[in-house]
Amino acid sequence: MLGVEARNCRVCQESLYRDKTMLRGGWSRCTLCDEFVHYSCLASGKVSFLKARPRVCKTCRLIQEGTVASSLKKDGPPVAVPS
């Protein structure tokens, strides 16, 4: 039998199991990086409690806005630059 592959959120690096996400909004797939992320890790839309459409994770939103170092875009996972 094949084992179940554990999935982690790309933004917060926590697991995407039902016991942690069932009552906290679940998860969705980012349309840019095509990775599963917690619903709370999706970028906010024009109204703060609604999520942006199309669904984009916070990390990809930082890359779009240009607040992530350009060398990190190609080499590895994006990391926010501290201010």
Q: Using 50, 70 and 90 to split pLDDT, how confident is the model at 53? A: confident
Q: How many domains does the chain have?
A: 1
SS3 state of residue 31: coil
Domain that holds residue 4: 1-83
Q: Please answer whether residues 50 and 44 qualify as being in contact, where contact means their C-beta atoms are separated by less than 8 angstroms.
A: yes
The pTM (predicted TM-score) of the whole model is 0.64
Q: Is there a contact between 25 and 40 (Cβ–Cβ < 8 Å)?
A: yes
User: Nearest CA to 36 among 24, 46, 49, 27?
Assistant: 27
Average confidence score pLDDT of the chain: 76
Q: Output the domain CATH number for residue 12.
A: 3.30.40
Interatomic CA distance for residues 23 and 39, integer angstroms: 11
